[in-house]
Structure 1
Amino acid sequence: MDEPKRKWRLPDLKGANPLSSRIARLIFASNLAGLAILILGAMVLNEMRASFVVAKKQDLVGQAQVFSNLLAEGATFGQPQPVMDEDLARATLADLSLPISVRGKVYGPEGGLIGDSYFLSDRVVVSSLPPLQEPSRLSRWGRSLSEWAVSTFGAIVPDRGGDAVRTQTFEDEFAVAASGAEAASQRFNDRGQRIISVSVPVQHVSAVVGVLTVESNDIDEIIRAERAALIPFIGVAVLVALITSTLLTIGIARPLRRLSAAADDVRSGSTQRLDLPRITKRRDEIGALANSMESMTDALFERISANEQFAADVAHEIKNPLTSIRSAVETAERVKDNPEAMAKLHKVIAHDVGRLDRLITDISNASRLEAEITRVPTETMNIARFVQDIVSTYEHLKLDEAGPTVSFDDATMGAGLRVRGREGPLGQVIRNLIDNALSFSPVDGTVTVRVEQDRIGPQTTARIVVEDTGPGIPDDKLEKIFDRFYTDRPAGSAFGRNSGLGLSIVQQIAATHMGKVWAENRDSGGARFVVELPAS
């Protein structure tokens, strides 16, 4: 059977960079877009929180220094051993009128609490508690997502607020202040509130007579505001995810569904070809897939058409000897009394039976050839040695001493040229060409089989050349002789000794090995067949 022309265009993905794929880049970009927005939002909000915390700390430090100076001027006395008057310290602290979110405490040099603004203030803040209700699902989802984003990306971006205001216990903070330095920290108070605390020493001259601690408990408000500010970024990220998902559906899922539907139409017989011009023009893997499927269906239908034509040719070729046999049998009924005529008819029948047997054998070989080629794995072989082994069988098994001889010539000079292929089919190529050359050569003729090395561009090739000393091939038949069942023998040659499939099989095997075969006439007389295969 003829090998259909292949137009498949498959991308070579072996060892390719995944990001060289347009679809891969699209998927990476779409998946990272929402993530990038969340990272950007977390970085921006982290900077905002850092700025808020640092500003809050600086504000508290300023207030604490002012309050410490007031305490030092109005509640401390004594020389050479300065002390703090606890009553005056409490009175001074009460007179400060600190805002609700700020709490001041005065400690003695040993850590004992002297006064607390929460207990010294005479203000009572009354506010209505909101009604108890379960937070909505959207609120819980938004809070969980924002907390996850902050906790996930908070470790990635620098936290200037955390560096500026460390997390430490009050004891550590008090120890620093008691030594005469300023100290600031973040921690949770006894009410479970997150606070920023600043402690400064209260000094008389240069002696530390107490410690003033100023705490702000509105840091939770800052964090809640931060989480609320992250919600727009989350919304944008979700929107980007929806948009990219839609684009992926349009750009990937929909074309694949169209390819699937078109393949189902071909399978059901509704159409014989894939017609998807918009998809095949794409310059990505889906376009390559569509081109491959289109080429595959074209090749399948070409093969189906070739099989139908092959079946018609087989029927025609088998019908000829059967018709001859039937005619001989009918004639034999009428010449039973003529022994000479009966002998001739028996000879015709035997000849046609032999012709029919050869024809069926060659048809069977041609039918099985493609399946055998796909099943048998390829191997690398020394082509000169392989051809020489086949030629040697003709040299040692010559039946007619008066017939043409077969000789081998290694024109590669022992270069060890190697070809990747299948032994069985390539051996059939060489045998078919030698048998064809022997059938056309005179009794005293010579068939020469030669292996040569050639080059097509950067590709090294191996040439198997089979030459005979016969009558040659008419110039207008140099290509037609490779057609199935074509036979054109010179006058006087025995009819029916060839099925006309040998050279067709040679051409098909050469094509499956990425090679080619052609015929030409020698200047000195005779025909030359050349099989060219890529060398490995």
Structure 2
Amino acid sequence: MASAIDTAKADAPQRRQAPGRGWRFPGSRLGGLILALNLLSLLILLGGALTLNEWRSNLVEARLESLTSQAQLLAELLSDGGVTAGDPQPTLNPLLASEALLDVFIPQGQRARIFDGDGFQIADSYVVSSRIDGEPLPPALPADAPPPKAADGVTRSETRRAQADAELYMEVAAALEGQPQSSLRRNELGDRVVSVSIPIRHVQAVLGVLTIEAGDVDETLAAQRRALIPFALVAVAVTLLTSLLIHLFVARPILRLSSAADHVRMQRSRAISLPDLEDRKDEIGNLARSLETMTATLSDRMDAIEAFAADVSHEIKNPLTSIRSALETLDLIEDPEKKARLIAVVQADVRRLDRLITDISNASRLDAELSRDAPRPVDLSKLLGEIVTVYETTSKPGEAPVRLIDRLEPSPKGGRPRGVVVGRETPLGQVFRNLIDNARSFSPPGRPVAVILERAEGEALPIRVRVEDEGPGVPPENLETVFERFYTSRPKGTKFGGNSGLGLSITRQIVEAHDGRVIAENRTGPDGGVTGARFTVALPEPR
């Protein structure tokens, strides 16, 4: 048996396939990269803020512990240092309390105050040490301008002092209940201070409260803000780097693809080719490969259209030349019999030309029809049965009969028929009609044409339709060229001009559009002789 020719793979261009997809950020690699870089900058800033906030909290807690220890020690010294007076109910002596504060070392930046049992201040380390409590002077005002006042008519300084006194009084009042107090509040200058208030006891009686406050909190917070600056700068740098990477890896490649598309549109090239972008494993690489494949396909389609136009021109010129020659000769012939034969030739060429133009029109509309018709399940058993029935009812005496042989096993009850493919019913019907018409044109009168529907288990394209005839077969060297456009080589004795040479070409185009293939081969008998031709259409199963 002659070797079968797989025409679906003939002259098929090799396209660059997209690389396999590994794990990636849901939906987009670039999206994941952009999100990761932006989150990185935010995490740097957030991490710096959390770190410094933790450091600030630890620092304030450590300061409070240090002041508490210092205040407790000083309160015991005051309690045992003879600053009480009166019997049997002792009270704090303001003079002795002031002298005690004068004798005790109070570090720079700290302030110690003593309050009696009623919450009145009786001693202040700033006073006994001759320290002057002041604040920066405000900007100079015009001579006739009134001093700035708050909403109730008092100055801002007076308002701050009142608020500071109220917070201090609340802390002292709580300490007079017998429990040490600590807080972070503002003093009369508006500065934040760490304050500790310790009860001064005589045995179990609370005689007063010792308050020590440190005013270096603002300096600590300023240092904290300065420490946050490097984190902010790093976050800004990461954001700028992210923007630069987006520009380099997203914006510029897209601009290059746009420029390449404009280049193709201006007809300076036939296809987009950007190898450095096509090798990328992200969406930009997918886009570049898709554009390259698309433009290459369009270029191939343009080449095919040009070749088709050239073939059409050549095929139309043959009958036109024959008609023109016959018409020029017609007036020179006197013999009625010869003139009748010449007129018959002209009529045959006209019919051939009409058939040729019809087939060319069908071939040129094929792509548009395939794109407009949405694929749907097609039962080949039913489709082939309807086609064969039409041939049986319209067959004329002497024409080759058509027989359908359905070798598919019955489908399970309620299951999908075993001969179903996903495709377009009208083009598929045209495929089988073309093959049947071709087989009938080569079959001897009265000899049947068999249409066989079967399955090839284990094959990538398991559904097979074979059209077999008992004609002279196909020359082995033409098993592939029979699918080329305008191939019309026929055996001797066959009527010339009965075919346009487009039927099998259209068949191959439709089958390949359905992800199938069509092959041609010769049938042989026991003695090795050719007994006919066989055309096999292989189609995939629905997924």
Deviation at 1:304, TM superposition (A): 1.0
| Counterpart residue number, 2:346 | 349
* Counterpart Cα distance in 1 of 2:468 and 2:198: 110
* Counterpart Cα distance in 2 of 1:182 and 1:126: 29
| Counterpart residue number, 2:381 | 384
Question: What's the RMSD between the two structures over aligned residues?
Answer: 2.9
2:400 and 2:446 in contact (8 A); partners too = yes
Structure 2 unaligned runs (5+)? Answer: 1-7, 141-165, 412-416, 526-530
SS at match of 2:331: helix
1:8 and 1:292 in contact (8 A); partners too = no
* Counterpart Cα distance in 2 of 1:378 and 1:3: 26
| Counterpart residue number, 2:112 | 104
| Counterpart residue number, 1:520 | 521
* Counterpart Cα distance in 2 of 1:429 and 1:528: 14
More divergent stretch after superposition (258-267 vs 489-498)? 258-267
2:399 is equivalent to residue 403 of structure 1: yes
1:455 and 1:461 in contact (8 A); partners too = yes
| Counterpart residue number, 1:68 | 75
Q: How does 1:301-316 map to 2 (within 5 A)?
A: 301-316=299-314
Structure 2 vs 1, CA of residues 379 and 70 (structure 1 numbering), >3 Å: closer, same or farther?
same
More divergent stretch after superposition (98-107 vs 27-36)? 98-107
* Counterpart Cα distance in 2 of 1:176 and 1:131: 39
Of 242, 245, 258, 2:256 maps to 258
| Counterpart residue number, 1:429 | 431
* Counterpart Cα distance in 2 of 1:130 and 1:175: 33
TM-score using structure 1 length: 0.85
Deviation at 1:99, TM superposition (A): 4.6
| Counterpart residue number, 1:532 | 538
TM-score using structure 2 length: 0.84
| Counterpart residue number, 1:24 | 31
* Counterpart Cα distance in 2 of 1:498 and 1:406: 19
* Counterpart Cα distance in 2 of 1:381 and 1:243: 56
* Counterpart Cα distance in 1 of 2:532 and 2:372: 37
SS at match of 2:207: strand
1:8 and 1:296 in contact (8 A); partners too = no
More divergent stretch after superposition (86-95 vs 257-266)? 86-95
Deviation at 1:433, TM superposition (A): 1.0
| Counterpart residue number, 2:202 | 204
Amino acid at match of 2:282: D
* Counterpart Cα distance in 2 of 1:320 and 1:234: 82
1:484 and 1:501 in contact (8 A); partners too = yes
SS at match of 1:526: strand
Of 215, 218, 235, 2:216 maps to 218
2:447 is equivalent to residue 445 of structure 1: yes
* Counterpart Cα distance in 1 of 2:46 and 2:377: 56
1:394 and 1:406 in contact (8 A); partners too = yes
Of 29, 41, 47, 2:48 maps to 41
2:392 and 2:401 in contact (8 A); partners too = yes
Q: Deviations over 1:307-341 (max 9, x none)?
A: 11100100000011111111111121112x43222
Q: Deviations over 1:55-80 (max 9, x none)?
A: 21122112211221122123235666
Structure 2 vs 1, CA of residues 454 and 114 (structure 1 numbering), >3 Å: closer, same or farther?
farther
Q: Deviations over 1:9-30 (max 9, x none)?
A: 34688x9852585433432332
Deviation at 1:485, TM superposition (A): 0.2
* Counterpart Cα distance in 1 of 2:124 and 2:212: 10
Structure 2 vs 1, CA of residues 441 and 172 (structure 1 numbering), >3 Å: closer, same or farther?
farther
Structure 2 vs 1, CA of residues 203 and 529 (structure 1 numbering), >3 Å: closer, same or farther?
same
* Counterpart Cα distance in 2 of 1:359 and 1:68: 119
Deviation at 1:422, TM superposition (A): 1.2
Structure 2 vs 1, CA of residues 227 and 334 (structure 1 numbering), >3 Å: closer, same or farther?
same
SS at match of 1:215: strand
| Counterpart residue number, 1:156 | none
Figure out how many residues of one structure are paired with residues of the other and give that number. 497
Q: Deviations over 1:263-285 (max 9, x none)?
A: 22222222334332222222322
**Sequence identity (%):** 47
Deviation at 1:534, TM superposition (A): 1.3
More divergent stretch after superposition (104-113 vs 412-421)? 104-113
